[in-house]
Structure 1
Amino acid sequence: MDIVELRTPTAIVRHGRGRLIVLRPGSEGERVLDVPVTDLLKVRLSRRADDAVVIEIYLRYPTPVLTGVPADRTPLPVLIAEHDVPAAAEIVERINSQILAGQRIDVTAPDLNPPAPTWAESGPTRADVERAAQRMSQRRDTGGAVTALNRYVTAEEYVLETAVAIAHSPVGGGLGLLAATTERLLFISLDPDDPFAHELPIPAVLWARTTEGAPSAPGEVGARGQSGMDVHDGNITLHFSGAERADIDRVTCAVNFAVRRDSADGAAGPADPGVAQLYSEWELLVERHSLGMVDDAQFQRYGRGILRSLPDGG
């Protein structure tokens, strides 16, 4: 999508390539907001009590930070001149159309029905397992682990990608076969003297990412000295050092695909904040106000933001 820009007295609004950017005017071009459109709940034109027209940008979640201050459901207002209203209406419609398009189901999806195994003297063999293993750059001495993976996979899961990697504590030490399926992340040891397997269910995974020799952050597990993959479950970060970067990249993409597929199963797109969630935020706001953590002006502003985030609020 082409980039369009609207220059207002107080800000520059830029939309395109799946992002919405708001800059302060001037040579510095300070970014007030830079988010993917999928992080937006809605955008709309509104006329304030003082008759000024503003573009109100509502974030899907209250956690992102605007200019160093938690959003708390309060829309980011962009003041526009009266003669800019037609251009502003076009960009608002364009953004909302992309928000809606992002909530539609993409019916073009791979066939992830687990194939039936074929049986031989060595045991079962699955086509998805063999295809994933064949894609690995490093396949030497992995035959035993691939045979084990053929036995470990269930009739409900599809093997997406595999890679040879070194697991760090608490997964276990040593070299092994890392396999991403639609249901689990598996690690199968390649050490014949110390055979073990470790699994992590996909619903427990928040994200995976590749690493490139970055230092460990507090609370993370495993030293990093080479390319690898981090997998975070909301509590700890597991680290796997990759023997081949291309293989690890494919496993990382496969894990994130499985996580998104699991969270979106049965949903048309990112869920809007429900009434129960908004009510919890309201209770927290009331408590913060009663404790003096939020003044009256902030209470009114944040409260309006919560109320206007309700399905009938805008």
Structure 2
Amino acid sequence: MRSIPQSLDRDLLDEYIAGRTEQCIALGVDSNGIIKDVNAAFLKLFGPGDVPADTSVYGLLSAESTARLKKLIEKPGDEWSVINCGFIVNSTIVIDVRCHVAAVADRRILLCERTIPANTDVLNTMTQLNNDLANMGRELKRKNMELESSKEALSRLVAEKEMLMAEMNHRMMNNLSMISSMLSLEAGSMSDENFSRILEEFRSRIGTIALLHKNLYSSDNISEVDLAHFLGEMTKDFASTYLADARPISLRADIQPLKARTKSAVAIGLIVNELVTNSVKHAFPDGRPGEIAVSGSRISNDEYRISVRDNGAGFHDSDNNGEIKNSLGHILIPALVKDIGGTLVRGT
């Protein structure tokens, strides 16, 4: 190694400690291995800035190198001793060096030359890569913290939205129930049976929507409706309101577990209400006894069938066929079926 001084002249060593030779890592340590002086090549390898106090050179070496170098530092010779060492950079990269060790005054001087030529830029590339990875890790950690914060904020917004939606459904249910009661009172006070019937039909439609909002208010999921519960409760309310006058008509519901989006559930509820109302009005003339059945079953993953059947007079056999065709329900039902992308099938 031509650039290593062959004597222990302090002036020559100062050149290395001052950092004049980039290829040579120079440092001075005390008898315990604590670093006292370093050159620019050392700082370039291990990072800029002052070396922290009480930094031990042994902490920068591989385990094998530490044992060999410790003997030379504790008992240095009169001449330069040469050993091969491995410096550990950024906790993972091992840089092989040829280290010359000797004692000068109160210092042990280590002059270490890399065995890999500097102009290959291997060290710089690996160090930069390691730094980039460390920076990426810090950035990822920061992004994760931001994401967690955003998720917490989003959770709060969702909770607030659900609370507002529940409150809205509750108020809507109360308002519609009030309107339904007012229409019922108004229908009961009318002497004109035709107007009274029209008001009762409107009251029934409003009651269906109010019942839906009641289901939404009491549900944990405001975007879907349990059709089995909704239609079952609706038919019970209908029976108690319109069939409580001892008419010999029974109304039952048999709905399999089905879920529907809120918009579809509104339409389905109104359709079933209209069909049941038509059956009660027209299928059992002259007090004829009978049965109305509401059923629901799944056809496929995204399709299901809702049926309203009765054992009364058929649609074409009814004496009120013309009245049925001109009724609002006859217009409303096909429109609602079309709105939810369904298919209306009539049978006798």
Which has more strand, going by share of residues?
Answer: 1
Higher RCO (CA-CA < 8 Å; seq separation 6+) = 1
Q: TM-score, normalised by structure 2?
A: 0.22
Q: TM-score, normalised by structure 1?
A: 0.23
Which has more helix, going by share of residues?
Answer: 2
